[in-house]
Structure 1
Amino acid sequence: MKKYVVIGDPIKHSMSPAMHNDLFQHYGLDANYERYHIKRGMLEQGLMGLRDRNVNGFNVTVPHKTDIIPFLDELDPLSKAIGAVNTVVCENGKWIGYNTDGNGYLQALKKQIPDLSEQKVLIIGAGGAARGIYFTLAYDGVKWIDICNRTMEKAIALKEECPFAVDTKILSIHEAEKRLGEYSLVIQTTSIGMSPNIVESPLEVDNINKDAFVSDIIYNPLQTKMLTCAKEKGANIQNGIDMFVFQGALAFEKWQGFFPDTERMRASVLRQLGG
């Protein structure tokens, strides 16, 4: 039996095992996926235990996505540029790192907006998720991507570290709120508004363009306060389920050699969320 795990701290909340095990059963694969708790600061010891188990692949979640890099044998170019890994393929004794977060988000977004090249984009946040999405959109050829963040220094650093050509301005939250109507695509990448803090919003959307598309990578709740307010203003919205599904599908493809049924995966996640 092939063995797959997801590592992180905390890890009990992860919905990946149910999603992947459902796929293994659906496709008749002799494989199993489970959670593997590695505490912050204990990564090296935890990975030694993982090598002893001869796993075939694993996902990496917070807080290990960056710290794992020195323990890998190879990195694909995008994960190297982003500086974070969320998927590892174990083959012929080598551990090869990939980042499917950005591409997972991109595929989910392209279901709604097939041509992103002329979109004027605002990214809210400058953390790990913002980095993956910003670099991937820039790599894909999006020309204008502005960034707003509570700590502007982090946003400036993100802009300076991007190795791909893109026109980017750094805005405060207040500036972004005033200029929100300029953007056709707004992407929320922070944890603000995630359950249980569902009354919070990273910024006010009073000035949103009614023709804008607003995407929030949070999927619990299914509709954050920011998405609710944007929808009330007439904007089209997307929650984080499709990103979660597509990053998982891309990981599955790297492990199994074929792309799985994302609608089935989506239904599995919704079942787990009770919706």
Structure 2
Amino acid sequence: MDGKTRVCGIIANPVEHSMSPLLQNLYAKRTGVNLAYVPYKVKEENLEQAVEGAYALNILGLNVTVPHKQTVMKYLKEIDETAADIGAVNTLVRMDGGYKGYNTDVPGLLRSVREEGIVLKDRACILIGAGGAGKAAAYMMAKEGASVIYLLNRSQEKAKALTDWVNKLVGRDVVKPLPLGDHGKIPDGKYFTVQSTSVGMHPNVGVAPIEDPAFYQKVGEAVDVIYTPAKTRFMEHVEAAGGRAINGLNMLLYQGVISYELWNPGVKVDEETITEARTTIEERLAASRKAAAWKGNLILIGFMGAGKTCVGEAYAKKHGLTMVDTDYLIREEAGTSISDIFAERGEEAFRQMETELLKKLVANRENKSERMILSVGGGLPLRKENRELLKKLGRVVYLRVTADTVLKRLKGDTTRPLLQGSDVRENVETLIEKRNPIYEESSHQSLEVDGIDIPEVVKAIEKLEKETPVYDGKQ
């Protein structure tokens, strides 16, 4: 670096885990450009000052990601047509008087598709998911002249909103929304398909948004926007049916390359450099997965109302992981509600289902070294076998609450039999007292969570992880 070095960077919150500095500095080195790329952690309330300050400091350009991709648009001098259409910006390029905003997600996805020799003009397409990535994919397919786009999504409200937006934008009824379960209504053919949901993303691997083999007979070529794992369950289904599938790594790479080339007009990142970047990302992802596996799973147990799900979700969001719930997994497997399982098969059958689920999760950990955040049903640790299986899965933390907290948090809940009747407090107090020793036996550590908000509980768990590592079920 010297007095002529230009500076670019990324603004986000959090930003510590971004791989953009690694890649963008590689591009600068390989193309011979005197440029340095650095990460900037910017809180939402400081975004306007950050953009103004970057311009004042003569910063050449910035990438923008969560949670600023929409808000930053208010502080820009100009906005590119694609970014304006999408309603999100991920790249800022310096110009006279401020920055111009671009969205490179769409051209990044398009470039990855074109690199595979896929032509979308007059092509029949399927899109799974109506979130942010789905919006970019729908826009790309419609703009490239797709003949029809069948949009499969769980929420029909979100699907309709995306359908109306795309069809109005391109001036034709190209998008046809369908509930996810109605994929069988799509006419036979060989469609170009984009899987844009997070289903199947590490660590919650081994699942796909659609499991029906008949659906995949309709898929010719497919893109899964997920890039970890390298081959998702969705991709495996596509290939098993004779189709061709690629993951989202090239999309990630190309959107960064396009940003770099916007900052440096006339400079092109060659294929050799992109290959090196791809290898670098794959190595970094493999190292991250290994580190996560060594750190171990996090299992949260405790009485109903202890906050297991809320804490698990907050921890997972903070660390970029996926949380799963044992009751949810059992409902999905059984195809019915927990209350119906109790009513039709009895409690013992339900407890056996919990045990079988734990055995599968333990086997999955041993075979794939995958980390997960797991929230456990309140009665699951009652079986001795389950208590032993829990500790094989990883660190077990017992969230302790009093009856007062349980009654306060679950006031008005009519779905739990224990909370019905005239002796609710006595029932709760008796059961907590009975289960406390079992929860203690089941766990490596316990935390008192009465009167403590969720972020503080997450911090307390992080402190436990730092001070007392748990490896292979042992401290």
Deviates more, 1:43-52 or 1:263-272: 43-52
Distance in 1, matches of 2:188 and 2:204, equals 27
- Give the corresponding residue for 2:76: 72
Cα deviations by residue, 1:54-91 (Å, 9 ceiling, x for unpaired): 31101112222112111111111111111111111012
1:93 to 1:266, Cα distance in 2 relative to 1, 3 A? farther
Taking the TM superposition and a 5 Å limit, the aligned residue runs for 1:74-93 are: 74-93=78-97
Distance in 2, matches of 1:180 and 1:150, equals 20
Whether 1:154 aligns to 2:182 is: no
Distance in 2, matches of 1:235 and 1:226, equals 11
Cα deviations by residue, 1:169-192 (Å, 9 ceiling, x for unpaired): 101111126648545111011222
Q: Report the alpha carbon displacement of residue 254 of structure 1 after superposing the two structures with TM.
A: 0.9
What SS does structure 2 have at the residue aligned with 1:118?
A: coil
Cα deviations by residue, 1:148-187 (Å, 9 ceiling, x for unpaired): 1121111111111120145111011111266485451110
Residues 77, 97 of structure 2: 8 Å contact kept: no
- Give the corresponding residue for 2:239: 231
Whether 1:213 aligns to 2:217 is: no
**Code of the aligned partner of 1:136:** M
Alignment equivalent of 2:270, drawn from 235, 249, 261: 261
- Give the corresponding residue for 1:244: 252
Distance in 2, matches of 1:209 and 1:263, equals 35
Q: Report the alpha carbon displacement of residue 270 of structure 1 after superposing the two structures with TM.
A: 2.4
Q: With the length of structure 1 as denominator, give the TM-score of the two structures.
A: 0.91
Residues 109, 251 of structure 2: 8 Å contact kept: yes
Distance in 2, matches of 1:205 and 1:125, equals 17
Cα deviations by residue, 1:88-114 (Å, 9 ceiling, x for unpaired): 101223210111111111111012234
What SS does structure 1 have at the residue aligned with 2:23?
A: helix
- Give the corresponding residue for 1:174: 181
> Structure 1: which 5+ residue stretches go unaligned?
none
Whether 1:270 aligns to 2:279 is: yes
Alignment equivalent of 1:202, drawn from 191, 205, 209: 209
- Give the corresponding residue for 2:141: 137
Alignment equivalent of 1:39, drawn from 43, 49, 56: 43
1:263 to 1:140, Cα distance in 2 relative to 1, 3 A? farther
1:20 to 1:77, Cα distance in 2 relative to 1, 3 A? same
Distance in 1, matches of 2:66 and 2:199, equals 16
Cα deviations by residue, 1:15-55 (Å, 9 ceiling, x for unpaired): 22111111111122110112222235543344344345431
Distance in 2, matches of 1:241 and 1:180, equals 30
Report how many aligned residue pairs link the two structures.
275
Q: With the length of structure 2 as denominator, give the TM-score of the two structures.
A: 0.55
RMSD of aligned C-alpha atoms?
A: 2.1
Residues 40, 64 of structure 1: 8 Å contact kept: yes
1:189 to 1:269, Cα distance in 2 relative to 1, 3 A? same
Residues 146, 171 of structure 1: 8 Å contact kept: yes
Q: Report the alpha carbon displacement of residue 134 of structure 1 after superposing the two structures with TM.
A: 1.2
Whether 1:58 aligns to 2:65 is: no
Deviates more, 1:176-185 or 1:251-260: 176-185
Moved >6 Å (runs of 4+): none
Cα deviations by residue, 1:194-221 (Å, 9 ceiling, x for unpaired): 2222233222251212761121011111
1:130 to 1:249, Cα distance in 2 relative to 1, 3 A? same
Residues 189, 218 of structure 2: 8 Å contact kept: no
- Give the corresponding residue for 1:124: 128
- Give the corresponding residue for 1:164: 170
Cα deviations by residue, 1:224-273 (Å, 9 ceiling, x for unpaired): 12112222222111011111121112111111013311442242232232
Cα deviations by residue, 1:121-168 (Å, 9 ceiling, x for unpaired): 111111111112211221222221121112111111111112014511
1:272 to 1:110, Cα distance in 2 relative to 1, 3 A? closer
What SS does structure 1 have at the residue aligned with 2:154?
A: coil
**Code of the aligned partner of 1:12:** E
What SS does structure 2 have at the residue aligned with 1:186?
A: strand
Distance in 2, matches of 1:226 and 1:180, equals 20
**Code of the aligned partner of 1:90:** R
- Give the corresponding residue for 1:17: 21
**Code of the aligned partner of 1:195:** H
> Structure 2: which 5+ residue stretches go unaligned?
287-475
Residues 127, 196 of structure 2: 8 Å contact kept: yes
1:190 to 1:10, Cα distance in 2 relative to 1, 3 A? farther
1:252 to 1:9, Cα distance in 2 relative to 1, 3 A? same
